[in-house]
Structure 1
Amino acid sequence: MSQDWLVGLGSRFGLKALNWGLPVEGLIHSTIFDLFCGGRNLPETLKAVRELKVYGVETVLDYGAEAKDTEADFDKTLDEFLKTLAFAEEQESLEIISAKVTGLAQHALLEKITAADILSETELAAWDRAKERLRVLCQTALEKKMALFIDAEESWIQGAIDQLTDEMMAEFNTERVVVYNTFQLYRHDRLQFLKDSYEKALEGGYLLGAKMVRGAYMEKERERAQKMGYPSPIQPNKEATDRDYNLAVLFCVEHYERIASCVATHNQFSTAYQVELMEQEELPKRHPHLSFCQLYGMSDQLTFNLAKAGYRVSKYMPFGPIKDVIPYLIRRAQENSSVNGEMSRELQLIEQELKRRKTEGY
């Protein structure tokens, strides 16, 4: 994955091979799928979930369905989300599941709502059905004492997702945080949006759930902005992203009584920064409003050290049929080929540990 050309080639041809019905699922399953996903179905995730629990690491399960098109698809995805909640309820180390709104509503509809376009009666009815699907999911999470991460997506549909998530938070986050919105700090407007969301929650009398990420659609966002002639929503450079991310961490810790936040990052400084802030404020390591998360298959050096030190940390673990999770796998492969030093650092740490064990006779 450190080879950009190989990731690009594999991403293009892997997806085409699946669409053409070529027998490549076995190869995908034993390589990139096995690295980044927990299994093809819920029972297959149990092995990884239990292994993580041994080390004090929790799991956030994510049914890997996105970009669905039909009402039947949306209803099926909701059913899978509900099954995931029921499954998670039985596992001690599963308290949160993740959901994508594009698995419950049509992409084109979300784009029209974000653009504030007028909806037809048919579209209004479809929007009401999407709201009801998410409401059922949130209600079930509330009843099962679980929580939901609502994933962030592309900027041209994110406005609709924010609107929907705010409605659910206002309805379900009155006594504890059931619903979390996701804030992509590689967008230059998201730090202010986080602060605005806090004020809105304060005025509305509910708690804010905030999962903070950097972002996963940078190239796509910039290309679309350039092609369509509008200012890119992406930060001008990595330094600006890092600055806003760390300011967001500070803001959430400063307002921890009304914000339940998750530092979902592979960045070592940002992770250590929240640890430092919690120590300064003398907050419990397992405070219910302060947690950490890394993707399954990435940054184990952060996850397991946090867990060993006693902090609340989880692995975000997608699962589902290989064809359904391919878009997610492609993003992970591309991310790992382009992240500045992150994967190289991880490989270096693994090599050092292998040499140590060999030297010491393990």
Structure 2
Amino acid sequence: MSRNTLFDNTKTAFQLKSDSQLERAYFLFKMISKESLVKIGTAITKVALNLNLPVEGLIKRTVFDHFCGGINERDCMDTVDNLYDANVYSVLDYSVEGKEEDAQFDATAAKVMELTQFSKNKPAMPFSVFKPTGLGRFKIWQKITEKEKLTPEEEKQWENIQTRYDRVAKTASDCDISLLIDGEESWMQDAADDLCEKMMEKYNKQKPIIFNTLQCYRWDRLNYLKKAHQRAKDKGYKLGFKVVRGAYMEKEGDRAIEKGYLSPICISKKATDDLFNTVVEYILENLDDISLFIGTHNESSTYLAMQMMEEKGIDEEDRRVWFGQLYGMSDHITFNLAKEGYNVAKYIPFGPVKDVMPYLIRRAEENTSVAGQTSRELTLLKKERVRRNIL
């Protein structure tokens, strides 16, 4: 099969989906393709959950089961094992967002460490992951980034955040599991970057354990990467980066207008794509210093990364290069890459239905705003339905 048509192979793409799961996926992406329905549906869902109306069962059987592995890690194990049988690895993502209390942050840190320790003896799970705001209040990150003075209480909270980070990072190092730290909004990200680099300096001496995230819809990320690379070389440690386009674009643009500052977002979709590809190429040229997790649902960027690897003599199975997609999306990329021998993983969110809803709502809104993403999913699902003769 030509590389240019690799991702058209729907038999491989949907090999793990039963006919009923295929039909559910088709129905969900039909709904997501209609922006007005997404807006109405997310608004109604938020109200229903806030009023404790009995809608969790419906949510779980539809959008939750498609995009999430389960309400706890045990629920995810059949999915993890089935993916591994198809040469696809798993990144279990405890996707609880928007918490404010220390006890909740401690619980999230404990959950990440527990998953990391579990992964130690589970070859299918070579990564752990968390969001910075999963381990501490957004306001603290923001004040550190904006160089505002913390109150004594906030100083204590910042100390607690750093302690949680170090405990989670040490656990990953002890277990030899790579730790992916997600990117978030630009007005808190400097503090997250700085703390992540401290963890890299401490735990990435021999090889990359700690991975930061570069959101390439931000025009300053290539410059940041080059400076981080120089700092790492000067101090003698390795870097790891997950490279993505980004997840907060509309919020970033709105805030820049509201506050009257230059938007951190690239001027166009093409500029974002070009920056993403340039960042990937820079890392591939410096693999001895930097390991790479390419998080993308973009076929063109994936083909280009494959081509770069071939031109630079980088083997498909080189463990310094990974591809990743979200569970429930872009199976045509994931499974066809895996069949070709590349290292590829699915990000599998899990957690209580109500707590994971902010994540699911963001996924639905992203799909409506990314031109072509949902229509491509629908085209491939329709093609597979025809192939299986289940129309």
Which residue identity does 2:172 align to in structure 1? A
Corresponding residue of 1:283 = 314
Q: 1:310 aligns with which of 332, 341, 352?
A: 341
Counterpart check, 1:350 vs 2:370: no
How much identity, in percent, do the aligned residues show?
43
**Matches of residues 219-258 of structure 1 in structure 2 within 5 Å?**
219-258=250-289
- Counterparts of 1:83-162 in structure 2 under 5 Å? 83-162=114-193
Q: Is the 8 A contact 1:198 1:208 kept in 2?
A: yes
Q: Distance in 2 between matches of 1:327 and 1:356?
A: 35
2:243 aligned residue (212, 227, 251): 212
Match for 1:66 among 86, 89, 97?
Answer: 97
What pairs with 1:260-339 in structure 2 (closer than 5 Å)? 260-339=291-370
SS of structure 1 residue aligned to 2:389: helix
Take 1:45 and 1:89, find their aligned partners in 2: how far apart are those partners? Answer: 16
CA distance, structure 2, for counterparts of residue 124 and residue 356 of structure 1: 60
Tell me the alpha carbon deviations over residues 226-252 of structure 1, each in whole angstroms, 9 at most, x when there is no partner. Answer: 111111111111000001000001001
Q: 1:42–1:87: 8 Å Cα contact kept in structure 2?
A: no
| Whole-Å separation in 2 of the counterparts to 1:166 and 1:180 | 9
Q: What's the offset of the Cα at 1:128?
A: 1.2
For 2:69, which of 18, 29, 38 is the aligned residue? 38
> Contact between 1:65 and 1:100, CA under 8 Å: does it hold in 2?
no
CA deviations 1:34-81 (Å, max 9, x no partner) are: 111111001000011111111100001111122221111111111111
Of structures 1 and 2, the one scoring higher in RCO (CA 8 A, sep 6+) is 2
Residue 79 of structure 1 pairs with residue 110 of structure 2: yes
Amino acid at match of 1:27: L
Distance in 1 separating the partners of 2:49 and 2:387: 41
Letter in 2 for 1:25: E
Offset at 1:12?
Answer: 1.5
2:78 maps to which of 44, 47, 67: 47
Separation in 2 of the partners of 1:19 and 1:201?
A: 46
Q: Distance in 1 between the 2:120 and 2:54 partners?
A: 36
Residue 86 of structure 1 and its aligned partner are, at CA, apart by 2.3
Tell me, which stretches of 5 or more residues in structure 1 are unaligned? none
Residue 207 of structure 1 contacts residue 258 of structure 1 at CA under 8 Å; is this kept in 2? yes
Partner letter of residue 37 of structure 1?
Answer: C
Cα distance, 1:88 vs structure 2: 2.0
Structure 2 letter corresponding to 1:303: T
Structure 2 residues not aligned, in runs of 5+: 1-31
Q: Is the 8 A contact 1:209 1:261 kept in 2?
A: yes
Offset of 1:349 from its aligned partner? 1.3
- Alignment length, in residue pairs? 360
Of 24, 38, 41, 2:55 maps to 24
SS at match of 1:93: coil
Distance across 2 between alignment mates of 1:10 and 1:89 = 40
- The reply on whether 1:171 has 2:202 as its aligned counterpart is yes
Opposite residue 97 of structure 1, the aligned amino acid is S
* Equivalent residue letter for 1:322: V
* TM-score of the two chains, using structure 1 as the length reference: 0.97
Alpha-carbon separation, structure 1, partners of 2:50 and 2:316: 47
TM, length-normalised to structure 2 = 0.90
Distance 2:279 2:300 in 1: 13
C-alpha distance in structure 2 between counterparts of 1:92 and 1:191, whole Å: 33
Q: Does 1:340 align with 2:371?
A: yes
Select which of 3, 28, 33 maps to 1:2: 33
Deviation at 1:294, TM superposition (A): 0.4
Secondary structure of the structure 1 residue equivalent to 2:184: coil
- Shift, 1:356, TM fit: 2.5
Q: Larger deviation: 192-201 or 143-152?
A: 192-201
Quick one: distance in 2 between partners of 1:218 and 1:95? 29
Aligned equivalents of 2:60, 2:121: Cα separation in 1? 27
Secondary structure, aligned partner of 2:217: coil
